[in-house]
Amino acid sequence: MSELIQTGLLVRDERMYPRDKIVMQNITDMVRALKAGKQLPPLIVDRTSLRIIDGFHRFEAHTKFHGPDVEIEVEFEEHDDASLFVRAMETNVSHGVKLSQFDKIKCVQKGESLGITRDVIADALAMTRELLDGTVERKTAVDGEVIKRTVGHFAGKPMNPKQKAYNQRAGGMDQKYYIDQVTSLLESDSINWENENVVESLGHLRQALEEKMALST
Protein backbone atom coordinates (compact mmCIF):
# COMPACT_ATOMS: atom_id res chain seq x y z
CA MET A 1 0.00 0.00 0.00
CA SER A 2 1.39 3.40 -0.95
CA GLU A 3 1.72 6.39 1.40
CA LEU A 4 2.39 10.09 0.88
CA ILE A 5 5.67 11.76 1.86
CA GLN A 6 7.39 15.04 1.04
CA THR A 7 10.19 14.70 -1.50
CA GLY A 8 12.43 16.85 0.69
CA LEU A 9 12.53 14.09 3.30
CA LEU A 10 13.74 11.40 0.90
CA VAL A 11 17.41 10.45 0.64
CA ARG A 12 19.21 9.83 -2.64
CA ASP A 13 22.09 7.58 -1.61
CA GLU A 14 24.29 7.22 -4.71
CA ARG A 15 26.09 4.26 -3.08
CA MET A 16 22.87 2.28 -3.31
CA TYR A 17 22.11 3.26 -6.91
CA PRO A 18 22.77 0.46 -9.41
CA ARG A 19 23.28 2.82 -12.34
CA ASP A 20 26.40 4.77 -13.17
CA LYS A 21 24.42 7.97 -13.70
CA ILE A 22 20.98 9.51 -14.08
CA VAL A 23 19.61 9.58 -17.65
CA MET A 24 18.41 13.14 -18.22
CA GLN A 25 16.24 12.23 -21.22
CA ASN A 26 14.29 9.83 -19.03
CA ILE A 27 13.60 12.62 -16.53
CA THR A 28 12.53 14.95 -19.35
CA ASP A 29 10.08 12.34 -20.65
CA MET A 30 8.61 11.89 -17.16
CA VAL A 31 8.20 15.65 -16.68
CA ARG A 32 6.31 15.79 -19.98
CA ALA A 33 4.07 12.99 -18.73
CA LEU A 34 3.36 14.91 -15.52
CA LYS A 35 2.54 18.04 -17.53
CA ALA A 36 0.07 15.94 -19.52
CA GLY A 37 -1.68 14.96 -16.29
CA LYS A 38 -0.28 11.44 -16.06
CA GLN A 39 0.68 9.77 -12.79
CA LEU A 40 4.03 8.12 -12.18
CA PRO A 41 4.28 4.84 -10.24
CA PRO A 42 5.12 5.12 -6.52
CA LEU A 43 8.76 5.15 -5.47
CA ILE A 44 10.06 2.32 -3.30
CA VAL A 45 11.68 3.68 -0.13
CA ASP A 46 13.36 2.22 2.94
CA ARG A 47 11.16 3.17 5.90
CA THR A 48 13.94 3.62 8.46
CA SER A 49 16.52 5.57 6.47
CA LEU A 50 14.12 7.07 3.88
CA ARG A 51 16.61 6.11 1.19
CA ILE A 52 15.18 5.69 -2.28
CA ILE A 53 15.42 2.07 -3.41
CA ASP A 54 13.69 2.45 -6.76
CA GLY A 55 12.66 5.68 -8.46
CA PHE A 56 15.62 8.06 -8.75
CA HIS A 57 14.36 9.30 -12.12
CA ARG A 58 10.78 9.70 -10.84
CA PHE A 59 12.08 11.57 -7.80
CA GLU A 60 13.97 14.02 -10.03
CA ALA A 61 10.95 14.43 -12.34
CA HIS A 62 8.60 15.22 -9.43
CA THR A 63 11.09 17.68 -7.96
CA LYS A 64 11.64 19.40 -11.29
CA PHE A 65 7.93 19.66 -12.07
CA HIS A 66 6.35 20.30 -8.66
CA GLY A 67 9.20 21.79 -6.65
CA PRO A 68 11.30 20.43 -3.76
CA ASP A 69 8.59 19.78 -1.17
CA VAL A 70 5.70 18.16 -3.01
CA GLU A 71 4.02 15.10 -1.51
CA ILE A 72 4.39 11.99 -3.66
CA GLU A 73 3.36 8.37 -3.38
CA VAL A 74 5.86 5.85 -2.06
CA GLU A 75 5.82 2.23 -1.00
CA PHE A 76 7.82 1.56 2.17
CA GLU A 77 10.00 -1.50 2.76
CA GLU A 78 12.44 -2.48 5.51
CA HIS A 79 16.07 -3.21 4.60
CA ASP A 80 19.65 -3.25 5.78
CA ASP A 81 22.35 -1.99 3.38
CA ALA A 82 22.88 -5.34 1.64
CA SER A 83 19.24 -6.24 1.11
CA LEU A 84 18.48 -2.65 0.04
CA PHE A 85 21.06 -2.84 -2.73
CA VAL A 86 19.82 -6.27 -3.85
CA ARG A 87 16.29 -4.87 -4.06
CA ALA A 88 17.57 -1.83 -5.98
CA MET A 89 19.23 -4.10 -8.54
CA GLU A 90 16.12 -6.27 -8.89
CA THR A 91 13.78 -3.34 -9.48
CA ASN A 92 16.08 -1.47 -11.85
CA VAL A 93 16.81 -4.49 -14.02
CA SER A 94 13.11 -5.24 -14.47
CA HIS A 95 11.92 -1.87 -15.79
CA GLY A 96 12.98 1.61 -16.85
CA VAL A 97 16.24 2.41 -18.62
CA LYS A 98 18.14 -0.81 -19.36
CA LEU A 99 21.20 -1.40 -17.19
CA SER A 100 24.37 -1.22 -19.28
CA GLN A 101 27.18 -3.73 -18.92
CA PHE A 102 29.13 -0.90 -17.28
CA ASP A 103 26.30 -0.57 -14.72
CA LYS A 104 26.27 -4.32 -14.06
CA ILE A 105 30.00 -4.45 -13.35
CA LYS A 106 29.61 -1.52 -10.97
CA CYS A 107 26.80 -3.49 -9.30
CA VAL A 108 29.18 -6.41 -8.78
CA GLN A 109 31.79 -4.17 -7.20
CA LYS A 110 29.29 -2.34 -4.98
CA GLY A 111 27.52 -5.56 -4.04
CA GLU A 112 30.68 -7.44 -3.11
CA SER A 113 31.84 -4.47 -1.00
CA LEU A 114 28.59 -4.92 0.97
CA GLY A 115 29.28 -8.64 1.46
CA ILE A 116 26.77 -9.80 -1.16
CA THR A 117 27.82 -12.99 -2.93
CA ARG A 118 28.34 -13.13 -6.70
CA ASP A 119 25.51 -15.68 -6.98
CA VAL A 120 23.02 -13.33 -5.29
CA ILE A 121 24.16 -10.43 -7.48
CA ALA A 122 23.77 -12.52 -10.63
CA ASP A 123 20.24 -13.52 -9.61
CA ALA A 124 19.31 -9.89 -8.83
CA LEU A 125 20.58 -8.84 -12.28
CA ALA A 126 18.65 -11.69 -13.96
CA MET A 127 21.89 -13.25 -15.24
CA THR A 128 23.51 -16.64 -14.89
CA ARG A 129 26.63 -16.74 -12.74
CA GLU A 130 28.65 -17.86 -15.77
CA LEU A 131 27.45 -14.92 -17.87
CA LEU A 132 28.12 -12.42 -15.10
CA ASP A 133 31.63 -13.79 -14.47
CA GLY A 134 32.40 -13.54 -18.19
CA THR A 135 31.14 -9.96 -18.32
CA VAL A 136 33.33 -8.99 -15.37
CA GLU A 137 36.37 -10.58 -17.01
CA ARG A 138 35.76 -8.78 -20.32
CA LYS A 139 34.93 -5.43 -18.80
CA THR A 140 37.58 -4.80 -16.14
CA ALA A 141 41.23 -3.81 -16.25
CA VAL A 142 43.80 -5.59 -14.10
CA ASP A 143 43.19 -3.29 -11.10
CA GLY A 144 39.40 -3.61 -11.26
CA GLU A 145 38.77 -0.45 -13.31
CA VAL A 146 35.46 -0.93 -15.13
CA ILE A 147 36.16 -0.29 -18.79
CA LYS A 148 33.83 0.89 -21.51
CA ARG A 149 33.63 -0.68 -24.95
CA THR A 150 35.75 2.11 -26.44
CA VAL A 151 38.78 0.90 -24.49
CA GLY A 152 37.81 -2.76 -24.26
CA HIS A 153 41.30 -3.83 -25.29
CA PHE A 154 42.46 -2.96 -21.76
CA ALA A 155 40.54 -5.91 -20.28
CA GLY A 156 42.86 -7.69 -17.85
CA LYS A 157 45.61 -5.15 -18.51
CA PRO A 158 46.94 -2.18 -16.51
CA MET A 159 45.78 1.38 -17.27
CA ASN A 160 47.59 4.61 -16.50
CA PRO A 161 45.79 7.65 -14.99
CA LYS A 162 45.34 9.35 -18.38
CA GLN A 163 43.72 6.22 -19.83
CA LYS A 164 41.43 5.87 -16.81
CA ALA A 165 40.37 9.50 -17.11
CA TYR A 166 39.49 8.98 -20.77
CA ASN A 167 37.58 5.80 -19.92
CA GLN A 168 35.33 7.80 -17.58
CA ARG A 169 34.32 10.27 -20.30
CA ALA A 170 34.29 7.85 -23.25
CA GLY A 171 31.03 7.52 -25.14
CA GLY A 172 31.12 3.75 -25.13
CA MET A 173 31.11 2.91 -28.83
CA ASP A 174 33.84 0.89 -30.56
CA GLN A 175 36.91 2.95 -31.54
CA LYS A 176 36.43 2.16 -35.22
CA TYR A 177 32.99 3.81 -35.09
CA TYR A 178 34.47 7.17 -34.09
CA ILE A 179 37.35 6.94 -36.53
CA ASP A 180 34.98 6.02 -39.38
CA GLN A 181 32.72 8.96 -38.50
CA VAL A 182 35.58 11.47 -38.84
CA THR A 183 36.83 9.76 -42.01
CA SER A 184 33.35 9.87 -43.55
CA LEU A 185 32.97 13.56 -42.72
CA LEU A 186 36.26 14.29 -44.47
CA GLU A 187 35.70 12.07 -47.50
CA SER A 188 32.16 13.38 -48.07
CA ASP A 189 33.33 16.99 -47.71
CA SER A 190 30.86 17.48 -44.88
CA ILE A 191 33.16 19.23 -42.40
CA ASN A 192 31.89 22.64 -41.32
CA TRP A 193 35.07 24.59 -42.07
CA GLU A 194 33.38 27.81 -40.92
CA ASN A 195 33.16 26.49 -37.36
CA GLU A 196 36.36 27.58 -35.59
CA ASN A 197 35.98 24.95 -32.85
CA VAL A 198 35.71 22.17 -35.43
CA VAL A 199 38.76 23.41 -37.32
CA GLU A 200 40.72 23.72 -34.08
CA SER A 201 39.79 20.17 -33.06
CA LEU A 202 40.87 18.85 -36.45
CA GLY A 203 44.19 20.63 -35.97
CA HIS A 204 44.63 18.88 -32.63
CA LEU A 205 43.75 15.57 -34.27
CA ARG A 206 46.32 16.11 -37.02
CA GLN A 207 49.03 16.99 -34.51
CA ALA A 208 48.25 13.97 -32.32
CA LEU A 209 48.28 11.63 -35.33
CA GLU A 210 51.59 13.01 -36.58
CA GLU A 211 53.17 12.57 -33.15
CA LYS A 212 51.91 9.00 -32.75
CA MET A 213 52.83 8.03 -36.32
CA ALA A 214 56.33 9.40 -35.81
CA LEU A 215 56.75 7.26 -32.70
CA SER A 216 55.63 4.13 -34.55
CA THR A 217 58.21 4.49 -37.35
* Rg, Å, the chain Cα set: 22
Quick: pLDDT tens for 113-164: 999 999 999 999 999 999 999 999 999 998 889 898 899 999 999 999 999 9
pLDDT of residue 216 exceeding 80, the answer is no
Say if CB 86 and CB 120 are below 8 A apart: yes
* CATH 1.10.510 applies to domain 3-99: no
The residues, any chain, with a CB within 8 Å of residue 175's CB and separated by 6 or more, are 150, 151
The residues, any chain, with a CB within 8 Å of residue 93's CB and separated by 6 or more, are 18, 99, 124, 125, 126
What is the rounded distance in angstroms from the CA atom of residue 204 to the CA atom of residue 43? 47
Quick: pLDDT tens for 154-198: 999 999 999 999 998 998 899 999 999 999 999 999 999 999 999
pTM here is: 0.78
What is the rounded distance in angstroms from the CA atom of residue 150 to the CA atom of residue 136? 16
